[in-house]
Structure 1
């Protein structure tokens, strides 16, 4: 299996095709399995890689608090171990936030970013709808550990309530299999408690503010925002999409139709098609003149 050593552990990844590297980053409570119907449908002649974040999917489970900085550190090591440069990133949920963070800290190694349903800026409690606010309050409160750690409710809710088309038990099983024990679910809890709201947690809010400055200033790096509709659990609402258009440089916005927050389950072909078309428009499907295609 495509597993590489990173720091004191290992990270698993999917690897399809050849050409300029496109890296697809998942969020919570997902894994590279999220991209199973997207990667084969990308019609550009590019190399498609999708890692499992540390502590998630088939990657290793070192003893960590699994803070944002921990994920970023292991992801940095994965990029270096894979020898990836001149990368195009595609990010969803926390995967989008990690893509922004990596790009802000490695601006010379990124060619473009496509993103959807991710954390584009710090939020306030007032901006949350009733449903997301109630879930955040529950998970951040004293009952949060029991809700997330004592079972697989957070996974089941994501792929039954966070999508327009609830997954069958057969399709849901690979999302659940990596988390057989209470301890194995700690990364899911930490991610769920890390969404920056009114400046807390402070370390995550600082990372988001830092990559926000890069998003505003990186005029030479093309970006694609995919928006969706018809679900009450969407993070990128029309108001947030307008904010992105006004505050993110070199941004193209494309509407992807009806989907829930976990849009690759509802609209995999649309995501693949629009990322492919954007990449061709921006000249990202051919090696750059500076360094060409990277390989492992």
Structure 2
């Protein structure tokens, strides 16, 4: 089912679905909330011409199983760890977005010898206070974290898919694309993984375990010499223009690419360009070796 035929791998009793196309250097693309590997379809088209592109559906998303556990970030960490080991992924370039960035950066920090490079956009970083989010993001996440109104919005109304996702785009999605994003969350019970992620956002030291994880990988990201490719867009939801400038000045061995207008789901507005840029970056580094 879905946009492309997927493979499956069993991880501790639950199956994770994933796209595996192309050949060449290994590239793993990790999505966030409430999307799936479908988010990367425009990026994978040019990228798969020069690389093997592996894009899993996080557990509880896309065509992966929806296990009974709460799917806090720590559970997602374990599934991602098992996924990389089950496929014996080495010399990996990671392409990361949203909660996929938290999981990818965390894995890369702990397995730097298996990482060849990092490409990332609209990523999760440890927000020291609520004021470090934009006013719009503050209002959104305070709603999403409300145990009554937030749950009703996400679980009963499917508001993250129907409202937050389209609101994170510079251009509207087609009805066919929206149908694919709706498909994994057809009933309220299936939406629990969507509800869990907003409550994991690391702000002002809470949740303490997620904040500690994000602080560790953020400190590592600022010091590691791994090659980096950083994409940002005007009006970013997690990465403002000012914040993007800060990263441009402070990230080592990093090329920064402004994409123009965008909000959060940059792959929908600039997916092909992201794929072309990553493909050229990989090819240039390969030729220089």
CA distance in 2 between counterparts of 1:250 and 1:166 reads 35
C-alpha distance in 1, partners of 2:117/2:125? 16
Tell me the CA shift for residue 59 of structure 1.
0.5
- Show structure 2 runs of 5+ residues with no match: 1-5
1:257 aligns with 2:263: no
Q: Does 1:184 align with 2:190?
A: yes
1:164 to 161, 170, 195: 170
C-alpha deviations, 1:190-246, integer Å up to 9, x for none? 111211111111111010011112212211x101101111x4x53211221123234
User: What displacement does 1:107 show?
Assistant: 0.9
| Residues 1:40 and 2:40 aligned together | no
Q: TM-score when scaled to structure 2?
A: 0.93
Secondary structure of 1:173's counterpart equals helix
Checking the alignment, whether the CA contact within 8 Å between 1:29 and 1:155 is kept in structure 2 is: yes
CA–CA distance in 2 between the matches of 1:129 and 1:227? 15
Q: How does 1:66-105 map to 2 (within 5 A)?
A: 66-105=71-110
Q: Conserved in 2, the CA contact under 8 Å of 1:120 and 1:244?
A: no
**C-alpha distance in 2, partners of 1:111/1:91?**
14
Contact 1:29 1:158 survives alignment (8 Å): no
Once the two structures are superposed, residues 157-180 of structure 1 have per-residue CA deviations (whole angstroms, 9 ceiling, x without a partner) of 233211011112221011111112
Counterpart of 1:52 (choices 46, 53, 57) is 57
> Does 2:154 match 1:148?
yes
How far residue 22 of structure 1 moved from its aligned partner, in angstroms, is 0.2
Report how far residue 123 of structure 1 moved.
4.3
Higher mean alpha-carbon deviation, 47-56 vs 133-142, is at 133-142
Cα distance, 1:130 vs. partner? 2.2
The Cα of 1:44 is off from its aligned counterpart by 5.0
Counterpart of 1:293 in structure 2 is none
TM-superposition CA deviations, 1:272-296 (whole Å, max 9, x none): 111112222322x89x8xxxxxxxx
- Give the distance between the partners of 2:53 and 2:18, measured in 1 at CA: 10
Matched residue, 2:238: 235
Distance in 2 of aligned mates of 1:50 and 1:245: 27
| 1:6, distance to aligned residue in structure 2 (A) | 1.0
SS at match of 1:177: helix
Equivalence for 1:25 = 30
Question: Which of 10, 21, 24 lines up with 2:15 in the alignment?
Answer: 10
Which of 252, 277, 284 is equivalent to 2:280? 277
Aligned to 2:248: 245
Q: Hey, what's the Cα distance between the residues in 2 that align with 1:165 and 1:35?
A: 16
Q: Distance in 2 between matches of 1:237 and 1:103?
A: 24
What is the alpha-carbon root mean square deviation over aligned residues? 1.7
CA contact (8 A) 1:140 1:193 kept: yes
Partner of 1:132: 137
Mapped pair 1:201 → 2:207: yes
Counterpart of 2:237 in 1: which secondary structure? coil
- The SS at the match of 1:14 is strand
Distance 1:68 1:135 in 2: 20
